[in-house]
Structures are given as structure tokens and as C-alpha cells.
Amino acid sequence: MSAPADNKNKALISGRIDAIRSYSTQGGERYETRVIQPAADQYSSPSAVAITSKKRIGGKGEDINVLVTVAGFKDSWTDKSSGEVQQTARNTLYAVE
């Protein structure tokens, strides 16, 4: 992936690498890196995000700052208890490489 000239749909992710998983696609090897972000305060739980990339963005335990492109799609499902159709969005973060 090359970095587009504009900053639309971009975010800077900061945190510590918790886990790295590699997998093969038709386009070559990819990495999914789970990053734990700092909690807002001592009573909050830290959040976690997964970043997809063509190259490793760091090693386990390493603190990182990574520019990502935010992508996703609409999704829906039927609630089993109420029968109502619920809607959400599934998001993917791609490292700008």
C-alpha cells in the first residue's frame, strides 16, 4: 500500500504490540498486529485494535505509532430474542506503507 496524498479516512494509532499473526493471501503474506492502547484512567480497561499490513510494524511488547487507513462495511444480523434486524459497521485498519 502506498500513502495517498490526502488524509481522508486516516488515523494515528499509538500503543503497545500485544500479538502478531501472519497469514498468506493471493497478494502475498500479510500481518495482523494486535495493539493495546493506553487506558484513559486507572479505572478504565485499555482498548485493543488489529492493524493489517504487508510488513511487520514491530515486535511484541514494542510501543508504536502507526498511521492507518480506516476501511469497513455495513453489516446486519437478526437478534434471536427480539427478531429485530440490528445494524453495525465492521472496521479494518490498514497500515499506511
Helical residues (DSSP H) of the chain, grouped into ranges: none
pLDDT of residue 5: 52
Radius of gyration of the chain (CA): 16
pLDDT of residue 63: 98
pLDDT of residue 3: 44
Kindly report the average pLDDT of the chain as a whole number. Answer: 91
- Contact of 62 with 80, CB cutoff 8 Å: no
pTM over 0.85: no
Task: Map out the domains of the chain as residue ranges.
Answer: 10-95
User: CATH number of 10-95: 3.90.930.12, 2.40.50.140, 3.65.10.10, 1.10.10.10?
Assistant: 2.40.50.140
Kindly state the percentage of the chain with pLDDT values over 70. Answer: 93
